[in-house]
Amino acid sequence: MKDKAVFAEMLVQHKPIRFQVDCGADANILPHKHVENVDLAPCSPSLVMWNGTKVKPVGTCALPVVNPRNNTKYKVRFVVVKKNLTLLLGLNATEKMGFLTVHKENFVSVVENLENDLVIKYADVFDEGLGKQPGKVHLQVDPASQPVILPARKVLVSVREKFKAELQRLQELEVVAPVDEPTEWVSQFVFAVKKCGELRVCIDPKALNAALKRERYQIPVIDDLLPDLAEARVFTKVDLASAFWHSVLDDESSLLTTFATPHGRYRCVRLPFGLCVSSEIFQKHLHQELLGLPGVKCIADDLLIYGKDDADHDCNLEGFIKRCQLKGIKLNRAKLDYRCKEVPFHGHLLTTEDLKPDPQRFKAITEMPRPEKPEDVSRLNEKAWNEVKSLIASAPVLSYYKPDELLEVQCDSSQAGLGAVLMQGGQPLAQASRTLTETESRYAQIEKEMLAIVFEMEKSNDYTFGRKTVVFSNYKPLESIPKKPLHRAPKRLQGMIIRLQKYDLEPVPDNELCQSKLEWRKQRQAQYYNSGAVDLNPLKRGDPVRIKPFQLGKREWQKGIVRSRLDEKTYEVETPHDVVRRNRVHQRKTNEPSPTSSDGPAEMSMPSSMQSNEVPTTVPEEVDPPLSTQGNTSLTGPEVPSTTAKSPQKPSLRRYGRQ
């Protein structure tokens, strides 16, 4: 929490004026509007403010100042400035007036503030003036385009005075200039209200943009910078002050940007916002001015200076600021992040170890209040609400690219899309995904898997080109496809193989992924197989059943009587011709009467000859041992091979369905 400022109301020329007591100021500051009728004496050419900016004073004057509480009069010398700055009473004045007491014997040494020293040392780079890059910008118009002249838009009554004042300010800064001569192009203006209430006025060049020829200069993105930041440990981020206004238009181009207002026509002297060519022109000029500087990267008007350690960083930063001095580039002191271990940069958080998402991007989501209305709570309870916010705001931490480590690619395909991740040492470098087109969705599975590899290799071309890359896939046939002669590969795969020939890749099946996919397919197959299955109750000894015929051409289910239970699924059944073994799935209980020879229904267990160590060896007395009292009755029959009578059947895959 910042300390509150201390103010004192004093009488200056019999008028009450509120001053801020600033013991860190060497001078007393007074705006010119308070002393318009006072003769001023010349003074030093400039004042250096607390933030390092320079202010040119109008002069100095000595005025009587009265404390209204005790009517004590003091004579104070003020430095008069034209700008409406904060009125200050410096250290000497406040000490004389008794507002503070300085105990000089208690002074201790203070560690110098490197950031402030930097700003003070290069005050001309951090001042509030406009930068001016060498040379002038020329805008090219398509000769076949027809010039457009548009009338001025009306200005709302509530902002007319602010609009006029803003035009005057821009004219004083030499950003715009009035136009008196006829021009072929006349655009309209547009303004926006800032948070502070002031207006931002700029040109609305909709028609002009359609006629301008673009330079098509490549503007870098964050991915272009990441490979160079692998060893960066110290960061400084700076922002250009009024970036586009660093570029000056030549006279011909300036007339193209003429716009009409209720106060007359004006033309842009500096490169304006809103032109479709402004970003490319500014980026090209800025790259040219900073060419050859080590440890300096820029995207748009954001500049990043980095180093392997403090010494390397400071050397790079000083070289950068000296270049700014030489080329007339001005930096924004308020947006200086100096010597940081982590710094937000274009939606990411750059750290000494890895790349993280910028928390500010998800601030609106993480601070979103939970639902309060009944209908909102019914849709989403509080726990799920917090989980949703967490999932949206969190993202995998990305690693920096390391040229000396092996590249790995993991990719997969589905019926609807492709997904892939580029990795090094088990850490992700980049992720990519896309949906399949209607035609691609009809590809064979091996073609989709191959397309996923092509997609990721081309997407990460900046990293994978000229480097050996191991490609992990859960589709084992892909291991041999790239090794085949081109003429022996299928036609569609031939095109994909040709696209991959410039890469040094080694397809490797991912055993874990293959195993997990196999298990998933087994479960899916079992679920499909069992979708129509029903539970069958166990059979009892003496139950009449019908047995499914095994011979081709037979349609009638054969009658039988359950003799005994051999295992969990298998029963011994007596038929009119023989005694056979059948799985429970192949038997259906009927309402036909049981033979009189049966001892009556009873629960059955497995006979002792079929039991294992996991099953009790005792056999209930009401269960007859299978075949032991049946003499030489054979277990074989016309439906069962003789080998099946000698050893128990293996458990079927289907116990009333697949397991």
Answer for the pair 547, 560: CB distance below 8 angstroms, yes or no: yes
Distance CA(416)–CA(441), nearest Å, equals 6
Specify the long-range contacts of residues 218-223, CB closer than 8 Å, at least 24 apart: 219/279, 219/280, 219/283, 219/299, 219/300, 220/297, 220/298, 220/299, 221/299, 221/346, 222/299, 222/345, 222/346, 222/347, 222/348, 223/430, 223/462
Kindly indicate the confidence band of residue 497, based on its pLDDT and cuts at 50, 70 and 90.
confident
What does DSSP assign to residue 441? G
Distance CA(178)–CA(267), nearest Å, equals 6
Kindly indicate the confidence band of residue 563, based on its pLDDT and cuts at 50, 70 and 90.
very high
Determine the pLDDT at residue 2. 47
Determine the pLDDT at residue 493. 84
Q: What phi and psi, each to the nearest 5 degrees, are found at residue 228? A: -85, -5
Kindly indicate the confidence band of residue 517, based on its pLDDT and cuts at 50, 70 and 90.
low
Return the higher-pLDDT residue of 429 and 112.
Answer: 429
Determine the pLDDT at residue 609. 37
What does DSSP assign to residue 476? G
Weakest-pLDDT range from 91-100, 105-114, 553-562: 105-114
Token reading at 320 = 């950068």
Kindly indicate the confidence band of residue 280, based on its pLDDT and cuts at 50, 70 and 90.
confident
The DSSP annotation for 255-294 comes to HHT-EEETTEEEEESBPPTT-TTHHHHHHHHHHHHTTT-T
Kindly indicate the confidence band of residue 561, based on its pLDDT and cuts at 50, 70 and 90.
very high
Q: Is the pLDDT of residue 253 over 80?
A: yes
Weakest-pLDDT range from 22-26, 96-100, 418-422, 604-608: 604-608
Q: Is the pLDDT of residue 196 over 80?
A: no
Q: Decide: helix, strand or coil at residue 586.
A: helix
With the C-alpha atoms ordered 507, 508, 514, 517, is the resulting torsion angle positive or negative?
A: negative
Weakest-pLDDT range from 101-115, 163-177, 198-212, 312-326: 101-115
Give the H/E segment covering residue 472.
strand 468-473
Determine the pLDDT at residue 564. 92
Answer for the pair 429, 423: CB distance below 8 angstroms, yes or no: yes
Closest CA to 200 of 234, 151, 163: 163
How far does CA 293 lie from the centroid of its chain?
A: 29
Return the higher-pLDDT residue of 420 and 478.
Answer: 420
Determine the pLDDT at residue 370. 67
Question: Strands 88-89 and 15-21: what pairing?
Answer: parallel
With the C-alpha atoms ordered 118, 124, 126, 132, is the resulting torsion angle positive or negative?
A: negative
Distance CA(336)–CA(325), nearest Å, equals 17
Q: Is the pLDDT of residue 385 over 70?
A: no
Report the side by side order of strands in the sheet with 348-350.
343-345, 348-350, 354-357, 398-399
Determine the pLDDT at residue 643. 37
Distance CA(344)–CA(349), nearest Å, equals 4
Kindly indicate the confidence band of residue 656, based on its pLDDT and cuts at 50, 70 and 90.
very low
Specify the long-range contacts of residues 600-605, CB closer than 8 Å, at least 24 apart: 600/542, 601/540, 601/541, 601/542, 601/543, 602/540, 602/541, 602/542, 603/538, 603/540, 603/541, 604/538, 604/539, 604/540, 604/541, 604/562, 604/564, 604/565, 605/565
User: What are the angstrom distances between the C-alpha of 625 and each of 257, 561, 606, 619, 642?
Assistant: 107, 16, 9, 8, 20
Determine the pLDDT at residue 240. 85
Distance CA(175)–CA(247), nearest Å, equals 10
Determine the pLDDT at residue 573. 92
User: Residue 441 carries which side chain, given as an amino acid letter?
Assistant: S
Determine the pLDDT at residue 544. 92
Query: pLDDT, tens digit, for every residue of 117-141?
Result: 777 777 888 887 788 888 888 988 8
Q: What number of CA atoms fall less than 13 Å from residue 77's CA on the CB side? A: 9
Answer for the pair 138, 250: CB distance below 8 angstroms, yes or no: yes
Query: pLDDT, tens digit, for every residue of 73-107?
Result: 888 888 888 877 778 888 888 888 877 776 655 54
Determine the pLDDT at residue 537. 86
With the C-alpha atoms ordered 594, 596, 601, 605, is the resulting torsion angle positive or negative?
A: negative
Answer for the pair 187, 201: CB distance below 8 angstroms, yes or no: no
Burial (CB count <10 Å: 0-12, 13-18, 19+), residue 509:
middle
Distance CA(263)–CA(163), nearest Å, equals 10
* Rounded percentage of the chain residues whose pLDDT exceeds 90: 3
Mean pLDDT of 463-475: 79
Give the H/E segment covering residue 318.
helix 310-327
Map tokens 């692998």 to a residue.
230
Distance CA(563)–CA(273), nearest Å, equals 95
Determine the pLDDT at residue 62. 84
Determine the pLDDT at residue 644. 39
Closest CA to 260 of 178, 200, 194: 178
Return the higher-pLDDT residue of 114 and 549.
Answer: 549
Distance CA(213)–CA(368), nearest Å, equals 44
Q: Is the pLDDT of residue 571 over 90?
A: yes
Q: Quote the pTM value.
A: 0.48
The DSSP annotation for 136-197 comes to EE---B-TTSPP-B-PPPP--GGGHHHHHHHHHHHHHTTSEEE--S--S-BBEEEEEE-TTS
Weakest-pLDDT range from 249-253, 369-373, 548-552, 627-631: 627-631
Determine the pLDDT at residue 647. 41
Distance CA(127)–CA(55), nearest Å, equals 8
Distance CA(136)–CA(482), nearest Å, equals 54
Map tokens 């910078």 to a residue.
225
* Rounded percentage of the chain residues whose pLDDT exceeds 70: 78
Token reading at 347 = 């939606």
Answer for the pair 325, 122: CB distance below 8 angstroms, yes or no: yes
Mean pLDDT of 49-62: 78
Domains of the chain (ranges plus CATH)?
7-102 (2.40.70.10), 157-343 (3.30.70.270), 401-528 (3.10.20.370), 543-547+558-588 (no CATH)
Determine the pLDDT at residue 44. 65
Determine the pLDDT at residue 574. 92
109 Cβ contact list (under 8 Å, min separation 6): none
Strand partners, 204: 188
Kindly indicate the confidence band of residue 627, based on its pLDDT and cuts at 50, 70 and 90.
very low
**Mean pLDDT rounded to a whole number for the chain:** 76
Mean pLDDT of 347-376: 68
Crossing angle for the helix pair 491-500 and 445-459, to the nearest 10 degrees: 20
Determine the pLDDT at residue 617. 28
Distance CA(518)–CA(87), nearest Å, equals 78
Mean pLDDT of 425-439: 85
Report the side by side order of strands in the sheet with 504-509.
427-435, 417-424, 407-413, 468-473, 504-509
Mean pLDDT of 485-505: 80
